[in-house]
Structure 1
């Protein structure tokens, strides 16, 4: 079965910072992405009512979720079926 593409609009503020709105990421991906961001720096964008994340973090998270990615990124460690599944 082919993986579903997760499409989220990327925004750009006046200083050129590219970001995504966490509220626009569908569940369960939003929860997993927020877990991935734990401890990471996030942008503060004037005029945004909710939390946002850097586009680079979003793209890195998407890349590590690809079935052909063998990197074993820490964000998927311990998730059932992930490369570091210790259950």
Structure 2
């Protein structure tokens, strides 16, 4: 996904973990317009990452992605209804 976005001339910060993503967001010099995160991750899940990201940068746009159906992640409480969600595989 990072390579595709870079090929489309987006500036991409990649993070190997939710904590690494939060560290990027805490840096004053990093211009971040959108956080793209998976819903299910080890440690801090995507929903919690989104909550913490909004605390650091209110108004930050967040796009979630998952290999599960929208219905499954909403009904299992992993995401709130109405959030922006990409379902994998992404073409």
Q: TM-score, normalised by structure 2?
A: 0.24
More strand by share: 2
More helix by share: 2
Larger Cα-atom Rg: 1
